[in-house]
Structure 1
Amino acid sequence: MKILAEAGRPGAGYAEHLRTADLSVGTYSLPAGAADGQQPHTEDEVYVVTAGRAVLWTPGGSAPVGPGTVAFVPAGEEHRFTDITEDLTVLVIFGPAEHTRRPG
């Protein structure tokens, strides 16, 4: 067992807290008004919003997110947080671990 004490707490940018062959866990933080420049990932992602408010955009649609929101983004899907109205902190779970798959 390992307790990820810093996971989901506000920080700056992205901080990884755990990495195994099958998954990785980190915290992604963006201040209000920021632009999210992330690119599609080669791994599936689950986002758990721990603080803040924004909109999660994908080509298929957009959804408001806030504390307690859990969202799944499949590998390869373009996505980003927009309209960040409150400092946003998101727990990110990648499966398998981030950057372990080669771009297709």
Structure 2
Amino acid sequence: MKKLVGAGVFVHREPNDYVEQLRNDSMSVGTYSIPAGGVDDQAPHHQDEIYVVTTGRAMLVTPSGSEPVGPGDVLFVPAEEEHRFTDVTEDLALLVVFAPPYSGR
């Protein structure tokens, strides 16, 4: 067992912040923070992703549409799908699970 201290907690660094809290052969877990008014500059990843919104509000935009997100929402984004958080109205903290493990930007 491993307790992930600080996972899902907003960290204010400009422009955005990603901190990995766990990595093993099958997955990785980290926290992605975007300040209110910030711009999400991520590119599609080679891994499937699950986002758990722990704090904040924004829109998740994908080719299939837009979805408002807020605390408690759980989102799945398949590998290689374009996606971006826009209209970040409150500091946004996302617990992110990558499978297989995240390989960088």
* TM-score calculated relative to the size of structure 1: 0.94
Matched, 1:26 2:30: yes
2:18 alignment partner AA: Y
User: Which residue of structure 2 aligns with residue 6 of structure 1?
Assistant: 6
1:2 and 1:35 map into 2 onto residues whose CA distance is 32
Identity of aligned residues (%): 61
1:80 and 1:16 map into 2 onto residues whose CA distance is 19
State the SS of the aligned residue for 1:62.
Answer: strand
Correspondence list, 1:25-44, <5 A: 25-44=29-48
Range with greater deviation from structure 2 (70-79 or 10-19): 10-19
The Cα of 1:5 is off from its aligned counterpart by 1.1
Tell me the number of residue pairs that the alignment of Structure 1 and Structure 2 aligns. 100
1:61 and 1:49 map into 2 onto residues whose CA distance is 18
Structure 1 runs not aligned, ≥5 long: none
Structure 2 runs not aligned, ≥5 long: none
User: Which residue of structure 2 aligns with residue 48 of structure 1?
Assistant: 52
* TM-score calculated relative to the size of structure 2: 0.93
| Match among 78, 90, 93 for residue 89 of structure 1 | 93
1:60 and 1:76 map into 2 onto residues whose CA distance is 14
- Cα RMSD between the aligned structures? 1.0
The Cα of 1:99 is off from its aligned counterpart by 1.3
Consecutive aligned runs of 4 or more in structure 1 exceeding 2 Å deviation: none
2:48 and 2:66 map into 1 onto residues whose CA distance is 18
